[in-house]
A and B are shown apart, each in its own frame.
Chain A
């Protein structure tokens, strides 16, 4: 049961701001990966300039100003978390050039934007934007629809010595994405990979984030990334979270994180028109696509430094079922290892819960339903372990309770369907009263009602959650009894308020 949300004008403008900024980041990434005049670059620049004009049409103030710190992009003083996640290399170039603000006029055309990227990205042009050279450089490059303001002493950079948790998480996510982007670019150009960098950044993630849910909450950002980078970072974080729950050693975690991070490296060799095609693939295109696991293993085997076998195995086997069915077809029968099976589950879950050019994102609970529908494609033990660890309502999920209160999932318990939630509002959307208890475990009783999640809220949909079937769990004496969920149906009937939005 899904209800589509209607966007307000303010939300439409915010979405246009994100769309343009994201298009700029993608265009800059494309310039790193492809030749200046390749159609990938030109297409992304056309998309970027169109996004700018759409923003203008929707009433976003022009010129469109983007403020740059070392870590993130801002618009109107508001941090743009989503686009910033993959903007590390663009932000680095802007920092090298001491750029504080980029202001875009709606007359900007693709070719002019490409010349701007020449100035922003090419190493020889670092000196072109000094105070003395800036005006001349802008004239020489024919850039009339962009203004660049340089930093003054005291410009905030966000690289503070003491970062709070969310800043640390953003920075760590950017490092993972940046490292992977660089490796995809290298693989695309047949250059030696920086595998050690990948291990180092995963090692830092393992060391700094005991509980990677903050990083994973960044993973819920909707982005249609061009290089499967965001996808791979999220797969790595999911795999790390499950492995950590299994008490894996530090060394194992680094191996598993690196393997998951590099599992799609073979896609760097698949033509983009195939990778991001919106319709059905032709036989020839499918042949290309089905080769990416083998290409990935080949890329890793080509490296002069030895690569961990888990990474090679995960690259080759992440589209295989537990007995090697799926693709690619190998010369000898392959039975995927534990790591590859875990990466497969994480890979499919992440793909289902992300936006793609051809599909919307599912909520985690919907994704699990789809995965269990195709249960034979997965190792059942790993699939269940994954769901139990991540939870039916992962940490950070926005939910609506049966009484109409809004809440956020804070913690998982031994029961995947019964997380701890923190209320954001009172019943029927009323404000929370001071001193009012705001943390509850789903399934517990409170004031005569069973605390129940009635719907999952995403930015564009509201999914009604049914009362779950009664689950039998062992008692201390080992005899199964009906769990507290048995009373959920009656609680549903007693629920004070109907779902906020539903079909």
Chain B
């Protein structure tokens, strides 16, 4: 693309906005005249447009010459960025949505113990040594629970397998066999202190 303003741009700062507006108009007119692309697809006045077009073309050419090479993405720019579309109708109803629910005062510490217990149990079964040690300590100090990390780790591993199996549509017999394996593995890891 070699689009240039028809008239030389005035150099004075005061004339700049007018010159810029004229240049924009010229560019858009030129693009509309010479291209079949809908102009709403891009900002014809984007100063980086030419660079990006060149880069994209270069990437396409290199891809044609070497089909195995990856097409590199053009660099980001404001004009290319995604923006979520929000309708006026969605904004219009916001105040009424605010009054729709009850005005209960939420509690910042609600459910803290239950959340903590679940997160610590997850950490115990994560197989991550440092986190397991920290979680075990917290379980003991906060909840009086003496966890068996090995049992939880085995349980976590088998649960993951079970989830994958379920996702793959395994038969009921297979699942029953897996449950037996889980039960046996956990039982083997349980120490007397962990037993009820």
Chain A contacts to B: CB under 8 angstroms: 1-2, 4, 6, 8-9, 12, 243, 246, 248, 252, 256, 278-279, 294, 297-303, 306, 309-310, 312-313, 316-317, 328-342, 352, 355, 357-360, 362, 365-366, 368-370, 372-373, 379-382, 384-385, 387-388, 392, 415-417, 460, 464-473, 485
A369 and B98 alpha carbons, distance in the complex (Å): 11
Contact A358 B116 (CB under 8 A): no
Interface 1/0s, chain B 72-83, versus A by CB < 8 A?
010010100111
Given contacts A297-B122, A468-B96, 18 further A-B contacts (CB under 8 A): A246-B106, A246-B108, A256-B108, A279-B73, A303-B134, A309-B115, A330-B122, A331-B121, A331-B159, A335-B111, A358-B76, A362-B86, A365-B94, A369-B86, A369-B94, A370-B86, A470-B96, A471-B98
In the bound complex, do residue B130 and residue A359 qualify as a contact, i.e. CB atoms below 8 Å apart? Answer: no
Residues in A with CB closer than 8 Å to B2 are none
Please determine whether A384 and B98 come into contact, CB atoms closer than 8 angstroms: yes
Q: Is B105 an interface residue (CB 8 A)?
A: yes
State the CA gap A338–B121 with chains docked (Å). Answer: 20
B44 contacts the other chain (Cβ, under 8 Å)? no
Docked CA distance A464–B102 (Å): 29
Q: Give the distance in Å from the alpha carbon of A371 to the alpha carbon of B98 in the complex.
A: 12
A303–B150 CA distance with the chains assembled, in angstroms: 21
User: Are A337 and B88 touching (Cβ within 8 A)?
Assistant: no
A-B contact count (CB 8 A): 205
Residue of B nearest to A299 (CB): B131
Interface residues on B, range: 35 or more
* Contact (Cβ within 8 A) A337 B112: yes
For residue B20, CB closer than 8 A to chain A, the reply is yes
Is B118 in contact with A465, judged by CB distance below 8 angstroms? no
Nearest 6 A/B pairs, CB to CB: A301-B134, A302-B130, A298-B131, A369-B90, A334-B118, A338-B110
Q: Given contacts A302-B134, A330-B119, is CB(A248)–CB(B108) below 8 Å?
A: yes
Which residue of A has the minimal Cβ distance to B90? A369
Complex CA gap A382/B155 in Å reads: 34
Contacts of B125 in A (CB 8 A): 331
Q: List 20 A-B contacts (CB under 8 A).
A: A1-B88, A8-B17, A8-B20, A297-B123, A298-B126, A301-B135, A302-B133, A310-B112, A312-B119, A334-B118, A338-B111, A339-B112, A340-B115, A352-B84, A359-B82, A360-B78, A384-B97, A384-B100, A385-B106, A467-B92
